[in-house]
Amino acid sequence: QVQLVESGGGLVQAGGSLRLSCAASGRIFSFNVLRWYRQAPGKQRELVAGITSGGITNYADSVKGRFTISRDNTKNTMYLQMNSLKPEDTAVYYCNIATMGPRLENYWGQGTQVTVSS
């Protein structure tokens, strides 16, 4: 069983920055993908960024050049550095881990609110 806890959300003005953290506990197998999702009011949850155990990253077009996903295995933590924030980035942000042991396992954090004011 894996537990994920997000932190770092808050209120920021447009153009500002935030760094989200996701701390993991429990066993995570070596083959895994870490992802950040977000969900704005009235909209579907969308993938923001992902990073594989091999360090390959991908980003939604809307955040390319502004957001950076990273991981620190020594701290069992993943991060999302968000720069040049826009009001449309306002959402609840969720971390997710998909890890392959005997079979695929998928875990979610509780979410952290990011609000960007104009």
Residue 84 has a pLDDT of 98
Q: Which two tokens stand for residue 96?
A: 């997710």
CB atoms inside a 10 Å sphere around CB 50: 18
Residue 27 has a pLDDT of 81
Task: Please say if the pLDDT value at position 73 is more than 90.
Answer: no
pLDDT tens digits for range 75-114: 889 999 999 999 999 999 999 999 988 889 999 999 999 9
Average pLDDT (67-81) is: 94
Question: 99 by DSSP, 3-state: which?
Answer: strand
Average pLDDT (4-32) is: 94
Start-to-end Cα distance in the chain: 40
